[in-house]
DNA sequence: ATAAAAAGTTAGATGAACCTAATATTTTAA
DNA sequence: TTAAAATATTAGGTTCATCTAACTTTTTAT
């Protein structure tokens, strides 16, 4: 295992590479809130450690070793989040920041026990899949609410997790993972969406909110 | 709050100053497993931060601010240990090393919830008092088993906590916090002690073990 | 196709946290 | 009371993780 800083780089590279496979150093710099030369020199270090494949002026990608390490950290992060919600009774909107710290705890016993207490859970409180202890992860093809046609009914399977304000917003709207929603109206002007919700209430979501909610039809 | 390293220095200074009040840099160096010049420059840093009182060639002591910070860390450490035992079902012999990491987690919510779930506990799994959220701590006058006269009966109130092998040893001997023991025999030759235990069994403890067990008569 | 913009690199500096080697001060023991 | 031992300090160096400033390469837009 590397340093806390190295772990955070690896995790961010993994997250960014979900889209295209390759990651630009400038993306990484933005995500980690550091300058390009910092990223540049860290990439050289991670390359000598065989965690990323790096060639000057080319984008980077994780090696198998790097991917494995990323998934181990993500596993700890998501197990921690679910534990904080299910066992400790915290809200889904407040667990991410704590999990950012707990994911770096080095103790197989600690995470073994969490996994046992939660019965080897498959999803975190925001609907993200939890990699198993071998680093195997179930990636779902995800459809955003904004891509759903009027009239369709779908189930909320996941939501963006790293902005507390967004989750606070969902709390006030009364939306949760597993809820069935029907698209009543899609506004062409501003991209906002009106949902029919199990609570019988109609819910209006702005584009900004709807794009952070993923569903399964 | 300072860095993880600073927190560990503060905590160690607090622990060492329990005996005499003043702490020698060389003691600190030994405890933290670093060399003297490292301690020396850290003391200068902590002094500018008003966490320790430092003058060249004099021992150091924590300021009130430093003491408060130490107690906050110790509170987190001990709450974490008890949580790991009571809520997560880990053994008292395996929680110290995990708590060494959890004590640096920066989240009042996390520790608030632990405190609530445990009902504002007063003692950790090894019998150490847990400072309250204002940094108030109940220090007991502690008597070691080696200082007890033959024939006396006493209750185990605390044990040394930072050596896993020692706690494993107590587990095999079947000794726990709260157990009543009677001194049957004290050997002059090697300082070993024979106890009468509630389990009806006689238990032989070497001096090395007995000195790490504290009791109340 | 060239100029401008974006992305990436190098050089050199900084602060944190450590180190070794040399030196100074204080304590202890002969 | 002086020498030895213990303790503390200074000087100077290393690695990690960051930065700014200057420069190079690649991409994009006119
Ligand atoms: Mn998260
Ligand atoms: Mn999550
Ligand atoms: Mn402990
Ligand atoms: Mn303890």
Question: Is B32 near strand D, with its CB below 7 A from some atom of it?
Answer: no
Mean pLDDT, residues B39-55: 96
Strand C CB shell (< 7 Å): A 24-27, 36-37, 40-41, 43, 56-59; B 3-6, 33-35, 37-38, 41-42, 45, 57
Domain boundaries along the sequence of chain A? 4-62, 72-139, 143-216
Are the C-beta atoms of B61 and B53 separated by less than 8 Å?
A: yes
Phi, psi for residue A213 in degrees, rounded to 5: -120, 130
Residue with tokens 């909110």: A209
Reported as a pLDDT band with limits 50, 70 and 90, residue B198 is confident
Class of domain A143-216: mainly beta
Angle at A32 between CA A26 and CA A37, to 5 degrees: 50
How close B141 comes to chain A (CA, Å)? 33
pLDDT digits (tens, 9 = 90+) for B25-37: 999 999 999 999 9
CA distance A77 to A10: 13
Q: Nearest residue of A to residue B90 by CA position? A: A113
Determine the pLDDT at residue A200.
79
Give the angle subtended at the CA of B196 by the CAs of B194 and B201, to the nearest 5°: 100
* Spatial separation of the C-alpha atoms in residues A102 and B105, rounded to whole Å: 8
pLDDT of residue B130: 98
How many helices and strands (H and E) does chain A possess?
Answer: 8, 8
pLDDT per residue over A12-42, tens digit each?
999 999 988 899 999 999 999 999 999 999 9
Give the tens place of pLDDT for each residue, A132-154. 999 999 988 889 999 999 999 99
Q: Which residues pair with B61 in a beta bridge?
A: B53
Residue nearest to nucleotide D7 (CA to C1'): B26
CA distances from A4 to A21, A69, A78, B99 (A): 23, 12, 17, 17
For ligand 2, the distance from its centroid to the CA atom of residue A164, given in whole angstroms, is 11
Same fold, B4-62 and B72-139: yes
Window A:75-104, CB contacts with B under 8 Å: 84, 87-90, 94, 97-98, 101-102
Strand partners, A101: none
* CATH T-level topology, domain B72-139: Arc Repressor Mutant, subunit A (1.10.10)
Would you say the C-alpha torsion B112, B114, B120, B124 has a positive or negative sign? negative
Q: What is the tens place of the pLDDT at every residue in A163-195?
A: 999 999 999 999 999 999 999 999 999 999 999
Ligand that lies nearest to the alpha carbon of residue B121, given by its number in the listed order? 4
| Assigned fold of B4-62 | Arc Repressor Mutant, subunit A (1.10.10)
For the stretch B96-119, pLDDT in tens is: 999 999 999 999 999 999 999 999
Return the SS3 of A159.
Answer: strand
On strand D, nucleotides with any atom < 7 Å from a protein CB are: 6-12, 16-22, 25-26
Q: Is B51 helix (H, G, I), strand (E, B) or coil?
A: coil
């Amino acid at each position: 295992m590397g340093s806390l800083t190295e772990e955070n780089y690896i995790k961010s590279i993994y997250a960014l590479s979900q889209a295209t496979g390759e990651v630009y150093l400038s993306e990484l710099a933005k995500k980690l809130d550091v300058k390009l030369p910092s990223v540049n020199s860290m990439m050289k270090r991670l390359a000598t450690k065989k965690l990323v494949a790096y060639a000057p002026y080319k984008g980077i990608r994780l090696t198998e070793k790097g991917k494995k390490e990323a998934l181990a950290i993500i596993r700890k992060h998501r197990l921690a989040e679910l534990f904080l919600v299910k066992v400790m009774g915290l809200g889904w909107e407040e667990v991410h920041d704590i999990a950012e710290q707990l994911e770096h705890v080095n103790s197989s016993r600690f995470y073994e026990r969490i996994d046992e207490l939660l019965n080897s859970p498959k999803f975190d409180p925001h609907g993200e899949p939890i990699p198993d202890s071998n680093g195997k992860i179930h990636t779902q093809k995800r459809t955003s609410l904004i891509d759903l046609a009027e009239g369709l009914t779908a189930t909320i399977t996941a939501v963006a997790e790293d902005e507390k304000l967004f989750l606070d917003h969902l709390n006030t709207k009364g939306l949760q993972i597993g809820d069935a929603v029907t698209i009543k109206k899609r506004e062409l002007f501003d991209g906002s969406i009106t949902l029919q919700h199990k609570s019988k209430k109609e819910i209006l979501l702005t584009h900004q909110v709807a794009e952070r909610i993923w569903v399964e039809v």
